[in-house]
Amino acid sequence: MEVTEEIFTKLKDLQEVLVEKYQIEAKKSEAPKQLSSQEELLAVLKKEYIAKNNEYDSIKEKVLKIKFDLEQAVKSRESGEQGMDNITTHREYEALEKQVNEAKALESDLRKELQKEEKILTELKENLKISEDMISGQENELAEGKASLDKQINEYEEKLKELKEKEDSITPGLSDEILFKFERIIQRNTEGIVSVKDEVCNGCNMILPSQFVNLVREGNSINFCPYCSRILYYEESENDTAENHYFTEDIGSLVDLSDDLEDYDDDEKDYDLDDDEDLSNVEDQDEDAEDSDDSDDSDED
pLDDT of 98-140, one tens digit each? 888 998 999 999 999 999 999 999 999 999 999 999 999 999 9
225, exposed or middle or buried, with CB in 10 Å at 0-12, 13-18, 19+? buried
**Nearest CA among 117, 120, 135 for reference residue 50:** 135
Q: Which residues pair with 197 in a beta bridge?
A: 200
Helix, strand, coil content of the chain in percent (nearest 5): 80, 5, 15
**Nearest CA among 227, 217, 123 for reference residue 185:** 227
User: Averaged over 177-182, what is the pLDDT?
Assistant: 91
- The length of the chain is 301
- Confidence check: pLDDT of 150 > 60: yes
Contact between 179 and 172 under an 8 Å Cβ cutoff? The reply is no
Question: How far from chain centre, in Å, is Cα 16?
Answer: 23
pLDDT confidence band for 76 (50 / 70 / 90): confident
pLDDT of 232-245, one tens digit each? 999 987 766 544 44
**Nearest CA among 159, 46, 39, 60 for reference residue 117:** 60
Contact between 194 and 8 under an 8 Å Cβ cutoff? The reply is no
Percent of the chain with pLDDT over 90: 58
Of 51-55, 176-180, 198-202, 253-257, least confident by mean pLDDT is 253-257
Tell me the C-alpha to C-alpha distance, in Å, between residue 10 and each of 19, 147, 158, 281: 14, 39, 23, 77
Q: Which residues pair with 179 in a beta bridge?
A: none
Q: Which residues pair with 231 in a beta bridge?
A: 193, 224
- Confidence check: pLDDT of 288 > 80: no
CB atoms within 10 A of CB 128: 15
Give CA–CA dist 251/75, Å, rounded: 119
Backbone angles phi, psi at 275, to 5 degrees: -60, -40
The helix/strand/coil state of 235 is coil
The helix/strand/coil state of 227 is coil
Backbone angles phi, psi at 201, to 5 degrees: -75, 120
pLDDT confidence band for 189 (50 / 70 / 90): confident
Contact between 87 and 93 under an 8 Å Cβ cutoff? The reply is yes
Q: Which long-range contacts (CB under 8 A, 24 or more apart) does 188-191 make?
A: 189/228, 189/230, 190/19, 190/22, 191/15, 191/230
Of 144-148, 224-228, 262-266, least confident by mean pLDDT is 262-266
Q: What is the pTM of this model?
A: 0.55
Contacts of 215 (CB under 8 A, 6+ apart): 221, 223, 248
Contact between 181 and 223 under an 8 Å Cβ cutoff? The reply is no
- Confidence check: pLDDT of 183 > 90: yes
